[in-house]
Chains A and B, each alone.
Chain A
């Protein structure tokens, strides 16, 4: 690292997050015990030992900050935590023998952590319950954020914790302290976890799944929906159930999972009209209506689906799944790539790029940014139409009415630009490896928006270079670029001046 060493605070706080990851491994271990899965139990035991050794090792090599984290340290710690966790969380995967290579295991872990949902696992329909629990737990925790998990109890003794928190692309402070904010996020998530598991388990039992299996499928499907991750316990994803009831039961959890945690907080605090006034909800609603129409029309006129029910279950479901960046699918991946009209494929791609809300589990540009940029455009048009002496202000509503400021618009536009550039790189890479344009566009939008819908490109047999590129895109897009860019800057020049 340019002759310099990584700053001790970065190592210490990365170590703390890694130790938390080790703690999470107790959940699949308990699952393995409950279902008498002895080989996975040993795998998780080995992984837990390795993770704790690495975590405590990093903490010993580093040092706790007395003066508080700087922005550089906070951002670099968040980015490094995700990389360290990716390698360690992949250990149980590779020990299980269900992934063809360590790269495939890393891909699936990053896909889970970033709530993308693309998978390279082999024989998903027959993997142990404990491994399935680990897959879904990773995506559930990844949705809230690894750093959020660690800060839930850590932040009291950590001055500057907010910078660590922001480093993970969550910038809403619901309550005055970061600790209470992260606790509020977990409270909201756990309440929905209980409700979602009950609803989806009941739906599972209603379609004839045995109670224990329905409970597991309900829990895992909820985790995939709420985290907007899109993981499911079966290889055919939600299509496996062949049930309109089950499919529609997942929709509310996908949608609320894509809401800003601040919006949940306001609505749960009695400010219920907020849901109709919020700029992100309005942006998502408009986008859903327009992109549904541009997907429905070609699908209907091409006679791909001719009934209202078929269009609802296939087209509307995919559009909602894409816009919320969940990635649950009710059509086969190859169907999207080979049978769906190009306009519908591009509409889904745009939905994946636009994404859900800021400070949620969703990916994409986020409604806050598109709403902000749109408000700035409206303001500029009104300026041109007003007398020169007039003061024209733009505003958006998010909690309160907020005046549109040029600096905020610039940052929003910059992040959107980075998303577009990343999407372009992903598309060009797909084209370079010989995939057709609609498939390259769709898959790139899916990884850039952390969505997980596939047009058939993503598989264990795809080129290794593309797997590595997709891992990097998922990571950078989930952390909204700045943490990753800061981390790269830190690695490039080192933190200590010569």
Chain B
């Protein structure tokens, strides 16, 4: 199971941005859920 491209500088940068983007997207979705629940139970 080998990586296709290896660890070039830009791959590392893109990888970090991918992970951060995923995490922020997930957090945003959960916060949206919180706002929906707050609106529904008001």
Name A's B-contacting residues (CB within 8 A). Answer: 191-192, 195, 248, 251-252, 255-256, 259, 264-272, 275-276, 281, 285, 288-289, 292-293, 296-297, 300-301, 305-308, 310-312, 315-316, 319-320, 399-400
Find chain A residues with CB under 8 A from B5 CB: 269-271
Question: Cβ of A268 and Cβ of B12 under 8 Å apart?
Answer: yes
Distance between A233 CB and nearest chain B CB, rounded to angstroms: 23
Question: Cβ of A271 and Cβ of B14 under 8 Å apart?
Answer: no
Find chain B residues with CB under 8 A from A306 CB: 38, 41-42
Find chain B residues with CB under 8 A from A195 CB: 16
Report the bound CA distance from A308 to B40 in whole Å.
Answer: 11
Question: Cβ of B15 and Cβ of A272 under 8 Å apart?
Answer: yes
Distance between B14 CB and nearest chain A CB, rounded to angstroms: 7
Chain A: interface secondary structure? Answer: helix
Total A-B pairs, Cβ < 8 A: 110
Nearest A residue to B8, CB-CB: A270
Partner of A269, one of B7, B20, B36: B7
Question: Cβ of B19 and Cβ of A271 under 8 Å apart?
Answer: no
Given contacts A266-B3, A311-B37, contact A289 B30 (CB under 8 A): yes
Query: Residues of B within 8 Å of A, CB-based: how many?
Result: 33
Distance between A235 CB and nearest chain B CB, rounded to angstroms: 26
Nearest B residue to A268, CB-CB: B15
Find chain B residues with CB under 8 A from A264 CB: 15, 19
Given contacts A269-B11, A308-B39, contact A255 B23 (CB under 8 A): yes
Report the bound CA distance from A281 to B15 in whole Å.
Answer: 15
Find chain B residues with CB under 8 A from A289 CB: 29-30, 33
Question: Cβ of B31 and Cβ of A300 under 8 Å apart?
Answer: no
Report the bound CA distance from A306 to B29 in whole Å.
Answer: 18
Find chain B residues with CB under 8 A from A296 CB: 33-34, 37
Distance between B19 CB and nearest chain A CB, rounded to angstroms: 5
Question: Cβ of A320 and Cβ of B27 under 8 Å apart?
Answer: yes
Question: Cβ of A252 and Cβ of B20 under 8 Å apart?
Answer: yes
Question: Cβ of A275 and Cβ of B19 under 8 Å apart?
Answer: yes
Distance between A183 CB and nearest chain B CB, rounded to angstroms: 11
Find chain A residues with CB under 8 A from B33 CB: 289, 292-293, 296, 316
Nearest B residue to A252, CB-CB: B23
Question: Cβ of A268 and Cβ of B31 under 8 Å apart?
Answer: no
